[in-house]
Structure 1
């Protein structure tokens, strides 16, 4: 019933909902504040928080997230509302539906994160919110709510680049030093970059069409994996990974994309088209209509996942060699960080581990729950920017969200000119 109501009012959605009142007090015995907003200290259960405390708010796509963190990386409180179940039923994310769900849940989610932390809004050093890139309607909800919140409580505001936040999450859990190579894999992005500082990135390559998460979701829908009893309730990427575990990844010789291109860009649209052709042919052979489960579904899922993993691994291998040859990264103690929703795929992680073992790099990934969109990564990016004095705004007049936003300085042409050939590795598992 709720889904039908949401779908029926697409064209009639109101402007971003006003930010409802957020609790700003902690108990008198627990409150201990002095100095300016960047020097406040909140005390809870006899324990003092760090002097810098940031509320992070995330609404870039289909998850409403909020978290309160201190500068040492402690998660003081967090909350998350996932829209995944709704979008599974609609066969994909419908932006107006995502917007409406963000509007209905953002005040509650922020309040839950604050309540769990024991920190009031008046005790925050700043509010950090995703403003780029993402779905315009979703970004608008988070930004509209946040701007009203910081205006009411006279707090600094820190606009956050969603992919920068994914890239830096590892520094909250592992204290990785700059510079490091980062591979960002998600439903909407596939990026290779060097993180040289909090807001200093060199872009080595990115997807030229669709992202791996989007491609896996579409293949899962074409295979009707939601109808499989072992995939009910799983998103497309998880469903593919689940079915692939019992399949033979060598049954279908899908061509690895861009093998003749000596750069670090990615492409998944051609692979998706080839997979769709094979699925159609198999349905014809088995006398099935679209929507019915193929007998070879596990083998198909395994072959698709393997091909995606090999493509990602080879481009990442080239990026590593480029960085070492050009002195951007030193091979000793160099690190590859893999983050984003698709980074939780264990097969892809193992394939990348083969590459890092061969090149002497360390492979690090945030915990799976921090790979997907969440408020923690936004709060931590806020902490990083606050400490570095980067992008902290005391006036938000004219601030807008940006659905499309590049990450860092693009040096992908230099990578292509280097024309580095990647040595063959055995990536079959």
Structure 2
């Protein structure tokens, strides 16, 4: 049987048939360019595990979400998150392995998120991964959570080649960087305070969207996006875009959040809103908040594109913007970024939403990318520990500001903005 026929048959087979095929041809994954990696993710509140091969085939996966528990608690409480990881990780890993039909002897390495994230959560995944490595005599691959988010697009879209521009927006992070290689990133800008997902969660909670049945089980970002679609006057509340006077690619969302809170407090007093009710203009407030967040993100990404062109960091024939992270699931934000990309000749790539949020697949795929390059494979791994914070690559944020790049902002057609926010000026 040819290797191509074997791979095709293997991908389409059930777990039982896969085991038989591996017994028939045990050397299928023996060469240096092929591998099977098991990945474990526990950086925050999702317990994920997946088995992925070198072609990007997801052989097995499982995920346990703590979303509803933390939603009811009003936010993530680290000790509770740790307890839930501890209670579910063995089951999640077993489900992923069983669904793959891959015996541990055929797995080449075990990858796990070790940074950045909640230390109590990271500890569970890292310790369990090391236990599996010890039990099955496998090498360990420590994974940087944000690098994994950045490279998942290469599994979903094989046309994404290095170098490319990447925007990562989530509940804990917001940054724009150039991905030069599997293990080399150039950081162009990052959040100075809140991450966008964090801001969405906080304002959704303060607006009491959870008290409306249709949003009661949604994350803050999902709730605000859906509520904004019901707005009859998205310009009802005035917002100003932050950091316009700073010629860099950094982000700031705390000021936008505080603007919303001031609007909300005035409305609650004006309409004498009971403690468990939402204000009459809640949909318009959600829309205004989402518009200014999108505009701000687009500003910083546009300047990053200008900087990348000035420094020849992304070849003109390979201009790709990868957008990932939980907040990247917001289609309104993606729509704004698409307009900027169209103006600058960039292709925009966003992994499917299930791979934008935290999951085991992205960790396993990062392990695959590293395994194929022979990077970060440890047989002596006892010294590797978790880190709650970890920079992404080489920091070029100061150099970006030094360039003093002015931009004629791309007008986001179809996005309603007040006259003083219609971006035709140079800032």
Structure 1 range deviating more: 305-314 or 248-257: 248-257
1:208 aligns with 2:192: yes
What residue is the counterpart of 2:176 in the other structure? Answer: 192
Structure 1 range deviating more: 307-316 or 270-279: 270-279
1:425 aligns with 2:410: yes
1:362-394, CA deviations, whole angstroms, 9 ceiling, x for partnerless residues? 111001111000000000000000001110001
The TM-score, its normalising length taken from structure 2, stands at 0.90
Distance 1:214 1:286, change over 3 A: same
What residue is the counterpart of 1:297 in the other structure? Answer: 282
SS at match of 1:192: strand
What residue is the counterpart of 2:418 in the other structure? Answer: none
Which residue of 316, 321, 325 corresponds with 2:301?
316
What residue is the counterpart of 1:169 in the other structure? Answer: 152
1:271-323, CA deviations, whole angstroms, 9 ceiling, x for partnerless residues? 11111111000000001144421110000000001110000000000000110
State the Cα distance separating 1:160 from its structure 2 match: 0.3
Q: Which of the two has greater helix per residue?
A: 2
1:141-175, CA deviations, whole angstroms, 9 ceiling, x for partnerless residues? 00010111101111011000000000000000112
After superposition, residues 338-353 of structure 1 pair within 5 angstroms as: 338-353=323-338
SS at match of 2:187: strand
1:285 aligns with 2:270: yes
Which segments of structure 1 move beyond 6 Å, counting only runs of 4 or more? 25-28, 33-38
1:181 aligns with 2:165: yes
1:39 aligns with 2:23: no
SS at match of 1:414: helix
Distance 1:33 1:130, change over 3 A: farther
* Mapped contact 1:58–1:375 kept (Cα < 8 A): yes
SS at match of 1:355: helix
The TM-score, its normalising length taken from structure 1, stands at 0.89
How many residue pairs match? The answer is 397
* Mapped contact 1:34–1:40 kept (Cα < 8 A): no
1:239 aligns with 2:223: yes
Which residue of 32, 50, 54 corresponds with 1:71?
54
* Mapped contact 1:332–1:360 kept (Cα < 8 A): no
Distance 1:135 1:33, change over 3 A: farther
State the Cα distance separating 1:30 from its structure 2 match: 4.9
**Superposition CA RMSD, Å:** 1.9
* Mapped contact 2:355–2:362 kept (Cα < 8 A): yes
CA distance in 1, matches of 2:18, 2:67: 36
What residue is the counterpart of 1:267 in the other structure? Answer: 252
SS at match of 1:169: helix
SS at match of 1:233: coil
State the Cα distance separating 1:251 from its structure 2 match: 1.5
State the Cα distance separating 1:51 from its structure 2 match: 3.8
What residue is the counterpart of 2:425 in the other structure? Answer: none
